Amino acid sequence: MSTISVSHLKKYYQVLKKEPGLAGGIKSFLKREYQEIKAVDDLSFKIKEGELVGFIGPNGAGKTTTLKCLSGLLYPTKGQVRVLGFDPWQKKTQFLKQISLVMGQKNQLWWDLPAIDTFSLNKEIYEIPDQEYQQTLNELTYLLEIKDLLKTPVRKLSLGERMKCELVVALLHSPKILFLDEPTIGLDVMMQKKMRDFIRLYNERKKATIILTSHYMGDVKELCQRVIIIDQGRLVFDGKLEKIIKKYAVNKVISVILAKEIDYQELDKIGKIKDFNYPKLSFVVKRGKVATVTAKILKNLPVTDLSIEEPAIEEVIRKLFANKDYIDSELNSE
């Protein structure tokens, strides 16, 4: 049975349209014009208990809007959403006690107070028993290394420290469903790694269902086996991450380390050069021609090492969004 089920979800907004400049401002003051934005347009998917799903798409694709519908913040224009058997919009206490939404750009901690004050307030809001609260708090603050920061006012914390505290406050009630919207935004690479490790650990230990949106493909690559890609509010892909490469990467990369310098013109006869910086050389080759080109390289060039690689996932996704290859094509693989 699915923990999350989204069926033909639509969320349209009315957005005020305004021409630039003072004249546009006056015109807009006298006569308001609105434009309909299809933030989510006929989206359907299901997520099973314990899955950690990456939710990706370009800016304005509808990722955050979908998460807001799943957590009951937005009223869907059409379609049906069920989370843990609840209609999120109803905001039933039993539903709210089992979910959490973490937004990387905003915080729910009381800004002027130490984080521990927000934690103790949430303990009461979620009616967490004393012993359970103490145990969870100890565990989370230990894992995230913030034990010494609990009595410092939130406004004095660094972004990374604050994000860790945000995670603690979101997880104190041990939610079964966790919506993470850009949880590593603005963090340095070390902190991103720590966050990822923690999210993976939480997923494994608590068997929690997690949906993660991120612009950092590193987050998705490391954490999610399954990804859902949306663009312009519509589903583009739903399946295993490696399938994206097979589906959308038409080329492979053959990388070579040369033993000695060669005539550059010789290379053009072999294939399309991606990069050449002696002794490193790489070719971009159509999937079907990999064997032929490899044979040519080995026969004609002084090679000390050779490897055949899939293109980087970041590159595939970037091209996918840039070229909109998926439009008018068969979309879903699963």
Partner 1 sequence: MIKYLFIIRNTFEEYFIYRINFLFWRLRNILGLLTGYFFIKVVFGQEKILYGYDLEKILTYIFSVSVLRAVIFSSRVADLAGVIQTGDLTNLLLKPISTLRYYFSRDLADKVLNISFSLLELGVIIYLLKPPFFLQKNLFSLILFIFSAGLALLLYFFINFLLSLIGFWTPEVWAPQFLFGILLNFFSGGLIPLDVLPKPVQFVFQVTPFPYLLFNPMTVYLGKSSLLTALGMILISLVWIGIFYFLVRRVWQKGLLIYQAEGR
CB of 14 vs partner 1, minimal distance in Å:
9
Q: 40 in helix, strand or coil? A: strand
State the alpha helices, DSSP H only, in 207-275: 217-223, 241-248, 264-268
Q: 196 in helix, strand or coil? A: helix
Check residue 86 for interaction with partner 1 (CB under 8 A). no
Check residue 166 for interaction with partner 1 (CB under 8 A). no
Please give the Cα distance from 214 to 181 (Å, whole number). Answer: 7
Question: Using CB under 8 A, which of 10, 27, 82, 97 touches partner 1?
Answer: 97
Instruction: Find the binding residues for partner 1 in span 171-210 (CB under 8 A).
Output: 181
CB of 3 vs partner 1, minimal distance in Å:
18
Check residue 108 for interaction with partner 1 (CB under 8 A). yes
β-strand partners of 239: 227
Check residue 74 for interaction with partner 1 (CB under 8 A). yes
Question: Using CB under 8 A, which of 54, 57, 62, 72 touches partner 1?
Answer: 72
Please give the Cα distance from 4 to 100 (Å, whole number). Answer: 14
Check residue 157 for interaction with partner 1 (CB under 8 A). no
Please give the Cα distance from 329 to 242 (Å, whole number). Answer: 19
| Comparison of 97 and 296: residue with beta carbon closer to partner 1 | 97
Check residue 71 for interaction with partner 1 (CB under 8 A). yes
DSSP, residue by residue, 106-120: ---S-TTSBHHHHHH
Check residue 26 for interaction with partner 1 (CB under 8 A). no
Neighbouring C-beta atoms of residue 115, cutoff 10 Å? 26
Please give the Cα distance from 241 to 248 (Å, whole number). Answer: 11
CB of 160 vs partner 1, minimal distance in Å:
19
Binding site for partner 1 (CB under 8 A): 13, 64, 68, 71-75, 91, 93, 96-97, 99-101, 103, 105-106, 108, 110, 112-113, 117-118, 120-122, 124-126, 153, 181
